[in-house]
Amino acid sequence: MKKLSRRSFSTIATKGILGTTLLGNMPLANAFSIEQKNKKLGVALVGLGSYSTYQLAPSLLETEYCYLAGIVTGTKDKEALWQEKYNIPKKNVYNYDNFDTILNNEDIDVVYVVLPNSMHADFCIRAAKAGKHVICEKPMAVSVEECDDIINACKENNVKLSVGYRMQSDLYTHEVKKYVKEKTFGDVLFVSSDAGYISKGNPDQWRLDKSLSGGGALMNMGVYAIQTSIYGTGQNPISVSAQEFSTRPEYFKDTDETITAQFKFDNGAVAHMMTSHNANGNRLKCHCSKGWFELDPAHSYGPISGRTSNGNTLEFPFKKQQALQMDDFSKHILLGTKNVAPGEMGKRDMIIVEAIYKSIYEGGKEQLLSLGDIGIVY
């Protein structure tokens, strides 16, 4: 993976493609310690692009265990706007040159890295060395090796790590897992999962630049389809075969447009997934020995909708998935509850992503998956 220099990344940020940049080396800091279990954790968003602007920041107004405490941006004009809108003190506003001093800021407990995929590892490691707990936006990194680097850095610096898998905190996801675990509709036999949208935006956007994204649809929406295939069966896959399709090569010059993949599981179940930047897909359906259940839509910011073969409609109170996600991680830090999206889960999914790309490269050849050491299924 091509690494960007500070100068080249700053150039990209200046053009408005990104909201943040790489940072210098951070000195080692003491691990964060909790003195009061009822404390609200301060979160700093690194990167003020559309996801931070329209999803994460508004969600932090609804969280119970954390709040928006700071920002890191390379765009000077955004500083005053965010300070005023979210009442952020000047001392909690950082840029690329002064970010190292975040280790001295007791207001900030968690750093949420919302940067292009190729920068996740570098920034997460620096955040860990600053003694801050880390949320890394999905996908966790652009390689399994980088996932290991992030995990090791967080362990060495005694900080917690989570991947930005918002669906792991969604109530509809919990219901799917319950059906699978309790065999409400019998054994799961076949799972179908689609996750995609039609990209019509700027062809120079970072998601279409492999040096920044690490890949196309698979590294973006494909992670959702991988996840639903797993919790839709309740098992990690033992093998995968994959195919790639392109109908707009003039637009998708550098990244994959549409990918399909087939999984096999140790219990005999099979799954088919589709992910695309040129086709809409937003569904999970589980076919079982005594019926079926589905989510359609399945991956949206909400509301989700679900149905079952016995005529039931799934309905849960709506709450922002990102708020649930960040509260879940904060409770894990403060109260010792389960980490619903640990770094090992992000690593597992990257192992699968690499196997899918390898299968495509080898003409669809089935790739065996060794995920026994990972141990993550939920």
The tens digit of pLDDT for each residue in 79-132 reads 999 999 999 999 999 987 788 899 999 999 999 999 999 999 989 999 999 999
Pick from 130, 120, 128, 133: nearest CA to 20: 120
Q: For the residues 177-185, what does the mean pLDDT come to?
A: 98
According to the model, what pLDDT value does residue 38 have? Answer: 59
172 and 154: one domain?
no
**CA–CA–CA angle 317, 135, 152 (5° rounding):** 140
Burial of 201 (0-12, 13-18, 19+ CB in 10 A): exposed
171 and 150: one domain?
no
Is 378 inside a domain boundary?
no
Q: For the residues 191-206, what does the mean pLDDT come to?
A: 95
144 and 172: one domain?
no
Distance in Å from the first CA to the final CA of the chain:
30
CA pair distance 176, 54, nearest whole angstrom: 27
241 and 295: one domain?
yes
Pick from 111, 153, 118, 159: nearest CA to 136: 111
- CATH number of the domain where residue 284 is located: 3.30.360.10
Whole-prediction pTM value? 0.90
According to the model, what pLDDT value does residue 100 have? Answer: 82
Domain boundary among 131, 159, 187: 159
- CA torsion, ordered 334, 335, 338, 339, to nearest 10 deg: 0
The answer to whether residues 367 and 355 touch, using CB atoms and an 8 Å cutoff, is yes
13 and 148: one domain?
yes
Domain span at residue 249 reads 167-320+343-368
100 and 117: one domain?
yes
The answer to whether residues 117 and 130 touch, using CB atoms and an 8 Å cutoff, is no
205 and 313: one domain?
yes
As for how many domains the chain has, the answer is 2
According to the model, what pLDDT value does residue 19 have? Answer: 35
Centre a 10 Å sphere on the Cβ of residue 319 and count the other Cβ atoms it contains. 16
Chain centroid to CA 238: 23
| Eight-class DSSP state of 52 | I
209 and 353: one domain?
yes
Q: For the residues 187-192, what does the mean pLDDT come to?
A: 98
Pick from 142, 155, 168, 176: nearest CA to 326: 168
Centre a 10 Å sphere on the Cβ of residue 213 and count the other Cβ atoms it contains. 21
Question: Does the pLDDT value for residue 8 go beyond 50?
Answer: no
Backbone angles phi, psi at 186, to 5 degrees: 90, -165
- CATH number of the domain where residue 23 is located: 3.40.50.720
Is 253 inside a domain boundary?
yes
Backbone angles phi, psi at 316, to 5 degrees: -130, 150
The tens digit of pLDDT for each residue in 264-281 reads 999 999 999 999 999 999
Domain boundary among 159, 176, 204: 159
Is 374 inside a domain boundary?
no
CA pair distance 265, 274, nearest whole angstrom: 18
According to the model, what pLDDT value does residue 98 have? Answer: 84
Is 334 inside a domain boundary?
no
296 and 278: one domain?
yes
56 and 187: one domain?
no
Is 125 inside a domain boundary?
yes
Is 329 inside a domain boundary?
no
The tens digit of pLDDT for each residue in 11-44 reads 344 333 333 333 333 333 333 333 444 589 999 9
The tens digit of pLDDT for each residue in 342-378 reads 999 999 999 999 999 999 999 999 999 999 777 776 6
The tens digit of pLDDT for each residue in 286-313 reads 999 999 999 999 999 989 999 999 999 9
Is 330 inside a domain boundary?
no
CA distances from 187 to 171, 237, 284 (A): 22, 16, 16
Is 328 inside a domain boundary?
no
Domain boundary among 119, 140, 159: 159
Strand order in the sheet with 291-295: 313-314, 306-308, 291-295, 278-288, 188-198, 270-276, 258-265, 237-245, 367-368
Whole-number percent of the chain with pLDDT over 70: 89
The tens digit of pLDDT for each residue in 225-258 reads 999 999 999 999 999 999 999 999 999 999 999 9
48 and 185: one domain?
no
102 and 233: one domain?
no
CA pair distance 63, 367, nearest whole angstrom: 41
Q: For the residues 135-160, what does the mean pLDDT come to?
A: 98
- CA torsion, ordered 252, 46, 378, 38, to nearest 10 deg: -160
